[in-house]
Every structure is written in C-alpha cells, then in structure tokens.
Amino acid sequence: MSALPSNAMNLAQQEAVNYLHGPCLVLAGAGSGKTRVITHKIGRLIQMGLAPQRIAAITFTNKAAAEMRERAKGLIGKPAGEVLICTFHALGVRMLRANGTVLGLKPQFSILDTDDVTSILKDAGGSTDAATARAWQWTISAWKSAGLNAAQAQAVAANDTERLASVVMARYEERLTAYQSVDFDDLISLPLKLLREHADVRAQWQTRMGHVLVDEYQDTNATQYEMLKLLVGCEPDGSRAAHLDGDARFTAVGDDDQSIYGWRGATLDNLKKLPIDFPKLKVVKLEQNYRSTSAILRAANNVIGPNPKLFPKNLWSDLGEGEPVRVVDADNEEHEAERTVARIQSLRVNGLASPDAAPGRPKQGTAPSGGSAVHAVTSVGAQQYREFKDFAVLYRANHQAKPFEKALRKANIPYKVSGGQSFFDRAEIRDLCAWFRLWANNDDDPAFLRAITSPKRGIGHQTLGSLGVFASKYKLSLFEALFSSSLAAVLQARAVGSLHEFGRYVNDLQFRAKHTQGAENARVFLTDWLKEIGYEKHLHDGEETEKLAAAKWSNVLEFCDWMAQRCGGQIDDTAGVATSREVKNLLEVSQTIALLSTISERENDQNVVTLSTLHAAKGLEWPHVMLVGVTEGMLPFKLREQAAEAEATPVTTASAQEAGEAHLQEERRLMYVGITRAQRSLAVSWTKRRKKGRELVAALPSRFIAEMALDKATAKEDPREKLRALRAEFAARAAIPKT
C-alpha cells in the first residue's frame, strides 16, 4: 500500500491517526472530519503491519458502515475489503453464528423484527392490546440494554407495572429459546454473555481484534461498553488478559455534545468511565469544523455552553463569517410553514445576501468529506446552492411535518420525509422475508405462521390453532409438530395432508436455496418460486385497485432482483456481516436479511427538499437548514409540563431533579445537533401559538433561541417581505420595454 497523504489532515487529525499502540479517545466535534480520521487510521494500522482481518471498525447504522467501507476502499484499496467494518449488531450476528452453539443457539437462528416481537409479547402477556405490548417491549429493551436478564429485572422492578413486565420478559425469553430466535437487543446482550462466561470464546475474539475503532462512541449503551472492554483485552474482573501483550488497543471516536439517544439507553457514563478503566487513555480533540460558517458555529457553541463539560472544546472554522443566523416568528404552524416555503423560494431566486465564504458542498445525506488541512474555501455566487436538495426542514417530532408537507405541495415544491416507511416494512416484502427466514430456521414460529398464510393455502385458522396447541403441549416448533406421527389424533386427515404438503415444499425450497449460487441462478429460482406460490395473483386478489397491486408487485420484483445481486456479490453487504463481495448461495443471503433496514440502491440523490426529525438528521448536512417549531414544550420537549408536575408533588426528590436536568441537557444537545447540520445558512423559527389537541394554545420561544446569543440587529427577518420585494423587482423588469 502506498504512503498515506498526511497533508490531507490537520495536526490534531494526524495525532489521532498516528497513535497506534494504546487506548485513544478522539473527541470529534460536529463536521470535524471524524470519518477521515477513522479511515486514515485503518490505513496507518495496515501500513504498520497489522493484518486487515484483525482490524474492526464499528458504527451504529448500516448506512454509516457502508459509507465508511467505501471511503476506506478509496483510500486503501483492496485490503479495505478484509477489514471488518460493521454495526454493533452485525458484529453480534457474526459472533453468535460462530460461537452461539455454547448458548444453545444453532447457527441458523432467526432475527425477529419489531412486529414479531410485539406479537410474541402479546402472547406471553396474555394481552391483545398492541400499546401494552409495545410498553413491555420498551421496558424489556431498556433492561437488556442495561445488561439485565428476566430474573435480574424482577429484582430491580420498582412497581407493579415493572414487576408484570419482568414476568412477561421471562415468558418472552422462553419463547425466543423455543423459536431459536433473537431480537435486536439480544444481538448485543448474548455476545456479551459469550465473552463473559466462555473464556475460550473470549480469548478467540480478543486475539482476532488487533485494533478496534468505534464510531459515534457517545451513542453506546452500558452493554456495548462492556462488550468493547472484553473485546479489547479486559477480563470480566477488569484485569488485562494474560495472553495479550501491551495496552488495550482501540480508538473511540465521539462527541459528548452530540449524545442525543439517552431515551434508548445511550449513556455518557461510558465517556466518563474511559479514563478510569484505561488510565493510559490518550485524548485528542478535533475542534476545526469543515462544514459550517463562523456565524453558525458561534450559535452552536453558545447553545451548548451551559451544559457541563466532560472534555471542554470549542468548534471553530476558517470558512468565513457567512450569513447571520436568522430567527423567524410566526402566528401558528400554518403561518410558520408558509414563511419556511417563502424562505426556500427566496433563497432559490436570490441566493444569500453575503456569500463571501462558505464550504464546498459534499454529497447530500452523507457525513462531510471535510478534514483537509487546507480546505478549499469556495467563493460562492448566486448560482450555487439553489437546488431543492440543498434545503432541509428539521423539527423535534414527526407530527410537526404535516403543515410543511401541505405548504410545500401548495407551492409545487418536491420533498421527502426522512424516516418514512422502510422498504422492509411493506407487507409484501415482509411476506417474502418470512419465507426466507423459515428456509433458514425451521423453528421460527412467527415466520412459519406468516409464510403458510401468504398466500393462503387452504389451511385455516382452526387448523393452525390446533397445531399450535399440539406444538406447545409437546414443546415442539410448529414446523416440527406438523411432521409428528401423533398429529393425526388431533387433526383431520385432510388438514394433516395440507400441512405435510407445505412442510415438504419448505424443505424442498430450503434444499434448492442452499444449492442456488450466483445472481442469475438466484434470479431464476426466485422468479419460479413466485409463480409456484401464485404471489402476483395473491396481490391482485387482495388489493382494491390494479394500480396498487401493480406497485406492490413492482416492489416484489425489485426486492428479488436485489437479493439475486447479493447472491452474485454485486452488492456490498450493507450490514457488514460479510466483509467482501463474495458469491453466496440464496440460503446464506436469507440468513442476514433481518439486519438490513433499507435497500441502498433505492437511496438515489433525489432533488427534493428534506423534512426530517432532528434525531434522524444526525450525521447529515445541508447548505440551507430551517429549524422549525422551536418553542418551549417542543424543544426542549415538555420541560414545562414536567416542572409543573414536580412542583405539584409534595416532596421533589433529588433524583427527579437530576432527571429533569439531564433531560434539559439532552434537549440542548439536540438543538446543537440541529444547528450544526447547516453549512451556509440557518433559520430558526417559532410560533406564538401552537396546536395542543384540537385547541390553539399560547407558546413561547424556546430558551435555546436566547442562548444562541444572536446579533439582534441582523437576526430577525420576514422571508415573505423578501419574496414580495423580489416579485416586485421582477415585475418592474418585465415592464421595461425591450429595445
């Protein structure tokens, strides 16, 4: 591999990249080029003689892993394909497929999705209410993220609701064991159990992990931190593994100011623990921002300032002062949406008032390509940053999108709502995935029930109910039960015959899928299979219009083509379960399907305005950002209501006060994340009245607007006035007679 270009990095980035022989924490501020640091460090490790197979780079989303893999390939070349670049969950799948037998899991275990989990929890808790099941799911997930099993959860349950949830959790775990299935939380908790309780497995993975890099470290939960410690050479008692030389070798890259996932278990305690658990930890701060102008960064630094600092830092930029941050007030949500649309139209027509200096725009929807020590500062004229894809409207909660959708449609402005329905959440795709899961794992009862009824095969609910009772009585999976010689005692011969026919067909498909390798063979197999089960007719029979049925069939064909391409090694394994573009059989591909949340080929660079929640926008950036609905009660979210409840309580405990303060700090970090998505311009809007149920109630601007400490002389604007002036100017020009 050729020498890496050190002049492409600033001094802090070079320091982080060149520290190879011990634990390292890289505090990477927003837009400071952290992905560049990670990919260059991978290259430096390989350059210094560490085998690519012994390097792991772990992140939190499939999209981030895919981007990192592509960036590493561009920098390093072929060796990047041998580096393990994946999500925590994909790493968990690898570990369980390789070593899960010691926990009683067969390698072909199934990974359940959210709907499957909800269904099993209803059964385990004897409830038909989906909301109750979802509440149990959140509670159980929180316990698993904290590293607790059902018995431990029962011991810490604080009230009757939690005690009931712990009982449901025990029954739920029994069912998962019977189904040879895991949920997404298990993909972290079970590998941790492997590492803690099985010394040989722990030694195997510690030897394999020559250096571990963790992206977005501030988003890790307690279980992930314990897993990381064991992977990099710690023993369960905290001591260093005897078979390893030197200090723990890992690089944690994160930013305490961007920790916004406390509601799903992420904890800043993991940052606090690093210097304690690893006394030789080297800390490197990346404070130069390559994304935003100085005006935007100043507002961000001011907002985050009141939060306590684990590792103080101050973002700065050499991209020029730029356009002042604007504050826009509105009468209500509809008025706010109109003003937002007017601002988009104004910027598209006239550009910015002061385009003296601004960053070059990387590809939309990705982390910045920034990180060059001598970053090209583009002098931007009125012709740039006018495409619809250069604009984003960000808000705190999904329900806030509706008035903006209406206003954009009225103005004929194309848009997309980020975080909409996943391709894999569509009913037709879930049907096919159920079949794939059943091929891979015959004990997957939820997959069995969906596959046998999609399409319907003349096997009714009564037959399936009797089969379920029989399977439960003899502790068998539904698939095992249908071949039992005793089944004829509880079902009519015709029903048993239909079940046997289905079972034999699944076995045949499983055999054929295992021996179907390569893209073209997989495409033929899937096409024939869809004809055999009559799936196109099933779609047309089930839909009211031909148009809707045709759209669903188009999704099915696209999905099957995508599966075939993965069999042929034509598509990278987005989840990171495989590290190279290898040809696979269809059964192997079907085993990893549950880890994938989107089909990457569908994510083309659409020229549309983006509507997104602040949480979904993390890691992305746009030239023009509008933060909307920035009122007390929305951002920070429901803080006033919580304070009122606390005042009404006779005794306000210290823990309640601490929880309230922690909530405010996380909301402030969320505001900081929103501000730092903007490259060239930022507008923050609030409404004087907002809807609460069916009523309009008075609203106040968020405290965070004041904390931005903007220049009062330049901050406030009315985009409608600018648009009226522009229209008047165009009208005047049109009235001038042509000579």
Catalytic residue flag (residue 514): no
Cβ-defined contacts of 597-600 (< 8 Å, 24+): 597/62, 597/422, 597/424, 598/62, 598/63, 598/422, 598/423, 598/424, 598/574, 599/423, 599/558, 599/559, 599/562, 600/63, 600/66, 600/571, 600/574
3-state secondary structure of 395: strand
CATH number, domain at 383?
3.40.50.300
Is residue 236 reached through a cis peptide bond, with omega within 30 degrees of 0 on the bond before it?
A: no
Tell me how crowded residue 7 is: count the other CB atoms within 10 A of its CB. 9
CATH number of the domain to which 505 belongs: 1.10.486.10
258 carries an active-site annotation? yes
Residues 6+ apart with CB under 8 A from 439: 506, 509, 510, 513, 587, 590
Alpha-carbon separation of residue 490 from 287, 481, 485 (angstroms): 71, 12, 11
The token pair that represents 162 in the structure block? 């939690």
In the numeric block, the tokens 């954009």 are attached to 408
| Full DSSP string of 629-643 | --BTBBTTBTHHHHH
Are residue 263 and residue 334 in the same domain, yes or no?
no
Same domain, 67 and 126: no
Alpha-carbon span 485 to 631, nearest angstrom: 66
Strands 250-254 and 211-214: parallel
User: Do residue 436 and residue 547 come from a single domain?
Assistant: yes
Residues 441 and 568 in one domain: yes
Opening angle at CA 674, ends 673 and 677, nearest 5: 85
Pair 347, 481 in one domain = no
DSSP 3-state of 381: coil
Is residue 475 one of the residues assigned to a domain?
yes
- Segments forming the whole domain that contains residue 277: 6-101+194-288
One of 215, 226, 445, 666 is an active-site residue; which one? 215
Position 739 in a domain: no
How much is the pTM? 0.79
**Strand extents, DSSP E, 513-558:** none
Q: Is 649 part of any domain? A: yes
In a domain, 546, yes or no: yes
CA-CA distance, 257 to 59, in Å (whole number)? 18
Same domain? For 274 and 330 the reply is: no
d(CA 80, CA 71): 9
CA distance 234 to 236: 7
Asked if residue 628 belongs to a domain, the reply is yes
| Residue 666 within a domain | yes
Tokens of 197: 């309780």
Instruction: Indicate the DSSP class of residue 4.
Output: P
Low-confidence ranges of the chain (pLDDT < 70): 1-7, 242, 245-246, 352-383, 419-422, 570-581, 593-605, 639-656, 712-727, 729-730, 733-734, 737-739
Final residue of a domain: which of 179, 205, 234?
179
Q: Which is catalytic among the residues 87, 218, 251, 258? A: 258
Q: Are residues 394 and 529 in the same domain?
A: no
Q: Examine the domain organization and report whether 95 and 146 are in the same domain.
A: no
133 and 45 in a common domain: no
Strand order of the sheet with strand 609-613? 326-330, 678-687, 622-627, 391-395, 609-613, 415-417
Helix (H) or strand (E) holding 533: helix 519-533
- Our answer to whether residue 666 is catalytic in this structure is no
677 is catalytic: yes
Torsion, CA 663, CA 668, CA 670, CA 672, rounded to 10? -160
Characterize the bridge pairing of strands 695-698 and 391-395: unpaired
Q: How far apart are CA 707 and CA 303, in angstroms?
A: 5
Nearest Cα to Cα of residue 94 among 201, 219, 196: 201
Tens-place pLDDT, residues 388-438: 999 999 999 888 998 999 999 889 899 988 866 667 778 898 899 899 989
| 415 close to 405: Cβ distance less than 8 angstroms | yes
Distance CA 324, CA 711 (A): 8
**Are residues 467 and 412 part of one domain?**
no
CA 280, CA 720: separation in Å to the nearest integer? 57
Please count the structural domains in the chain: 4
489: region left, alpha or beta (phi > 0 left; psi from -120 to 50 alpha) = alpha
Q: Are 16 and 37 in contact (CB under 8 A)?
A: yes
pLDDT of 699 reads 92
Within 8 A by CB and 6+ apart from 66, the residues are: 572, 574, 600
What sign for the dihedral angle of Cα 163, 167, 173, 179?
negative
Catalytic residue among 13, 14, 35, 180: 35
Residue 9 CB partners (closer than 8 Å, separation 6+): 17, 33, 36, 37, 40, 371, 372, 373
Rounded Cα distance between 548 and 550, Å, is 5
Task: Name the catalytic one among 216, 323, 333, 588.
Answer: 216
79 and 223 assigned to the same domain: yes
| 454 falls within a domain | yes
DSSP 693: T
In a domain, 315, yes or no: no
Distance between CA atoms of residues 618 and 623, nearest Å: 15
* Of 596, 616, 633, the domain-final residue: 596
Q: What CA–CA distance (Å, rounded) separates 167 from 154?
A: 7
Write down the number of H helices and E strands in the chain.
Answer: 30, 18
N-term to C-term CA, the chain = 65
* Alpha-helical segments (H) within 281-410: 294-304, 333-350, 402-410
User: Nearest CA to 572 among 596, 555, 552?
Assistant: 596
Say which residue the tokens 């050190």 belong to. Answer: 6
| Same domain membership, residue 154 and residue 201 | no
pLDDT tens for residues 116-170? 888 889 988 988 888 899 999 999 998 988 888 899 999 999 899 999 999 999 9
- Quote the CA–CA distance of 165 and 510 in Å, as a whole number: 37
Q: Domain containing 148 — which CATH number?
A: 1.10.10
Catalytic member of 94, 229, 677, 703: 677
Could you say which of 542, 572, 596 is where a domain stops?
596
Other CB atoms within a 10 A radius of the CB of residue 269 amount to 12
DSSP 8-state secondary structure symbol assigned to residue 80: G
